[in-house]
Amino acid sequence: MKIKDFGVEQWMNEYETKAKYNLGETCVSSLSIRELCELVGVDVNDFAKQLVDRRLTYGAIEGAVELKEAITRLYQNLTPDEIVTEHGAIGANNLVLNALVEPGDEVSRRDADLPATPVHPRSNRGDG
């Protein structure tokens, strides 16, 4: 299946880093690592020491243990094995669609600004 180019993404690839005022961005203004450390109360020097010794691997396929453990501390009666993490909303949408949608099912969705959402069911189920 040939998936059509995402017009917005193509335009953003060309112009977003050159714009004086980027009013088309869908994300909040980025934080520096220093700002993020200050926000969450982590010493930037301690973070840097941990970072320089970290191996550059794909990480745990089933999700970072540290993240899952941190999430469990926000809830009662939850274990890390009950948590599924993804690499963002598109990954989470993909997981849900693959788990729940079968050929012939009808999918109702919100018309978001991410063109990949409506394309996924057609591309993976062969009806588009």
The pLDDT of residue 90: 77
Q: What is the residue-wise DSSP string for 28-68? A: PPPPPHHHHHHHHT--HHHHHHHHHH---S---TT--HHHH
The pLDDT of residue 62: 84
- What are the pLDDT digits (tens) for 13-68? 888 778 777 666 666 677 889 998 999 899 999 999 999 998 888 888 888 898 99
The pLDDT of residue 44: 95
Given a cut of 60, whether residue 83 has pLDDT beyond it is: yes
Given a cut of 50, whether residue 128 has pLDDT beyond it is: no
CA angle at residue 68 from 66 to 70, to 5 degrees?
70
Q: Of 105, 87, 104, 107, which is closest to residue 95 (Cα–Cα)?
A: 87
